[in-house]
Amino acid sequence: MLTTLLALLALTGPALWLLKPHRWRHAGWLAALSPAVVTGWLLAQLPRVGGGVVLREQFAWSEAFGLALDLNLDGLALLFGLVIAGIGTAIAVYAGYYFEKNRGLGYFYALLFLFMTSMMGLVWADNLLALFVFWEGTSIISYLLISFKLSDQNALEGARRALVVTGMGALGMLGGLVLLGQIGGTYSLSALLAQPPATFIQHPLFTPMLILILLGAFTKSAQFPFHFWLPGAMAAPTPASAYLHSATMVKAGVYLLARLHPAFAESELWFWALFIVGGVTMLLGAITALRHYDLKAILAYATVSQLGVLVMLLAFNHEVAAVAVVLGILAHALYKGPLFLVAGIIDHATGTRDIRRLAGLARAIPLLGLAAVLASLSMAGLIPTFGFLAKELLLETFYSLLAAGETVIGAAGLAAAALAGALFVAYSLILLWEPFFRRSAPGKEAHVHHAPSTPFVLPVLALTLMGAVIPFALGALEHDLFAAPAGAVLGAPVEVHLALWHGWTPAFLTSLLAIAVGVVLFLGRERVRAALAPAPKWLNGAGLFDRAIDGLYAIAGWSTRAVQGASLPTQVSVTLLAAVGFLLYSIFKHNFIGDLNLDWSAKATFYEVVLAALAVLAAFVIVRTHSRLSAIISLGMVGVVVTLIYVFFSAPDLALTQFLVEVLTLVLLVLVFYRIPHQEHHPLPKRISFRHLLISATVALWGFGMALLAAGEPLFATISDYFSLNVLAAHGGNIVNVILVDFRAVDTMGEISVMVVAALGGYALMRASRLQPLGRRNNTNTAKRTGKRPARKTRGAA
């Protein structure tokens, strides 16, 4: 069933694209059907999965190579699946009204559902390599979603940053996952997590493996110092921002850390990396959020901060922290997703997201105001919201550390969490008060010129109401919805007992203090913004990233000029002499010549002598002739000689291949040289001619040496026997063909790709001389229409 659900989501997007949903008034409701079906099925599995049942499914791909798509649905996968499908349902409805009659709606749906499929496959995958494939799918599709507005330069820049940062992290993570699979002896996640943690932690490769995996998780979840890509990605359409950057993509790194937590939580490196990076990200994101006036920018940095909270909690290996992570994931999705959607409706209705120009929206759009109140209070962590429960468990984590005698870690974490809680309150009140409840804006006030319809606001309100109801239904949900994923994070069964009121506990009193400090920061927000304005720009990270990219381009330009800036003969000479150098190194390093066992008594036959003489004669003509056609014919003669050698030595398949290649090469050379203007021949200086002769002789000796090595006995173990024994397993009869299309299939595909790219480049160069520049063509067309000659530019005007 899991595979069927993935297929359903994958096919929904392209199907909607073909149906052209921009022509339908309520296309969003149709689009929401498939994620709603997935959500309903997952809710139906809550009792089973909450009771400890793990649903497993395997889709065989290649039994011969042992390749299969393994899917597992345990408590953690079910929780993330509900977030992905549930929030996705609301986004699908919302997008239909957000884009209205925009022709790009079908394309957006196609990307949205492909992303939903990738994200769902990521959290359900039980194989490290399958997880990585889905991981990369989210990165690529998120790039397309962020750059949806091709005319917006900020969107293109934000998409590029997101792809480069997360892509670089993913490459490192791939290395870490491969090391993890090699250390554990399997790529199955469930099998790896069943092994004792000491299997990994005591391995000599554990440190590089963990660093690489953390690199991928930190870049994906926008942790310091990689956090800068997330605010830049806010240039995406609001439905994409709400889905990718509040509920799904940015939580992929959190999911990976939570999934691997049982195996790595006892490691000191794991603890300090997550505690420090998560704590810094939490405070930095919350502080930066107070500096901004754009609604989506504030929410973006708030997301960075709350992702830091989740990462910091995953540093600890006890029950309270595991439950706090689970509640934090769900609570964040149910208030941050609606707030992004609220920002999109405000932008849609007023034409701006600048809170300095917004006021009184609660009276103008009451339903939107209600949704904003519920979501903002939850983000601030005020009782009795879902966010309050998550914040209480965050504080309880550090009080439990203090009770266990871990004074330094507990006190530092508690102070950081309390300060972050105060900042949460401050920016939540700013988001609520300034656009919705103040009477007038300090700047040029923007008015509602396009009021949203009730169905437009309905998905937002549904998500916020869901988050508001959960705290009052804890008894029915705490076992099935929270205990199972917390147990998956901890690696052991967890008893969850939640309540809105536990009395006047230290955590509650600390929460009250944080709320009071947050209110003070809110009242003095202009002074706070003024104080934060001179903050160093490197904290953002975007400037450092841009400078690094510019430096990379500069290095690439320098290396290109240094290596490829010379003439073609010089470049070819460098390449060939490098090959000669490698051969000489191998000869002197391994004494290959002394190990050769050649039979010098064999005599050449008459036809071998004739063919060799013809090849030498043709090569001499190629060098000495001034005619292009003569050189091409002589080059073909060398190829024909090689073909005949294959024939005489009973290799007809190689002879046929060589002949076909020679014919194709001759035709291409004739066509290319026909297009190249003829140039007069100028004799080269004797110094350059002597240098070319010396290089040619050296390369000839290199070829002779390679022939000697090939003619002697094998110097190392041969793999010919393996090919011979396995040729039938590949369902082939010709061993050469089997090697090319089976054993070296990927290599052959790469060679074909190179040839196709080279052919396209050659075709473009051949057409370039026949194409007029755009400006000249426009002038010519203008002259044809008006009967006037285009004006000639003077030197000063040019």
Mean pLDDT per 10-residue segment, the chain (798 residues): 88 86 82 91 90 84 70 91 93 90 87 93 91 92 89 85 90 93 89 90 92 93 87 85 82 92 92 94 91 89 93 92 92 92 90 88 90 92 90 91 88 92 93 88 77 89 92 85 90 85 88 93 89 70 79 86 75 84 78 58 76 86 82 86 86 85 86 76 79 87 78 70 72 74 78 88 75 47 46 38
CA distance 436 to 448: 12
* DSSP of 88-117: HHHHHHHHHHHSTT-TTHHHHHHHHHHHHH
Per-residue model confidence as pLDDT tens digits over 515-526: 999 999 999 988
CA distance 441 to 360: 9
Domain residue limits, the chain:
1-264, 268-534, 611-681, 719-782
CB atoms within 10 A of CB 775: 9
H/E stretch holding 773 reads none
Contact 138, 249 (CB under 8 A): yes
Contact 290, 44 (CB under 8 A): no
Per-residue model confidence as pLDDT tens digits over 400-434: 988 888 888 989 999 999 999 999 999 999 999 98
Helix (H, G, I), strand (E, B) or coil at 737: helix
Burial (CB < 10 A; 0-12, 13-18, 19+), residue 429, is: buried
Beta bridge partners of 127: 188
Residue indicated by tokens 């002589």: 634
CA distance 299 to 297: 5
- DSSP class of residue 717 equals -
* DSSP of 660-690: HHHHHHHHHHHHHHHHSPP----PPPHHHHH
Beta bridge partners of 188: 127
Q: 668-692 in b/e burial notation, b at 16+ Cβ within 10 A?
A: ebeeeeeeeeeeeeeeeeeeeeeee
pLDDT score at 795: 36
CA distance 709 to 136: 44
pTM of the entire predicted model: 0.77
pLDDT score at 40: 93
The tokens of 57 are what? 């499914």
Q: Where are the beta strands (DSSP E) in 305-390?
A: none
pLDDT score at 790: 45
Residue 127's Cβ-side half-sphere holds a number of Cα atoms within 13 Å equal to 16
Distance (Å) of CA 225 to CA 315, 412, 497, 541: 18, 21, 36, 7
Helix (H, G, I), strand (E, B) or coil at 52: coil
Burial (CB < 10 A; 0-12, 13-18, 19+), residue 399, is: middle
CA pseudo-torsion sign 528, 529, 533, 538: positive
CB atoms within 10 A of CB 62: 8
Burial (CB < 10 A; 0-12, 13-18, 19+), residue 642, is: middle
pLDDT score at 475: 82
Contact 71, 125 (CB under 8 A): yes
Q: Are strands 55-62 and 67-73 parallel, antiparallel or unpaired?
A: antiparallel
CA distance 754 to 269: 43
pLDDT score at 461: 92
Burial (CB < 10 A; 0-12, 13-18, 19+), residue 18, is: exposed
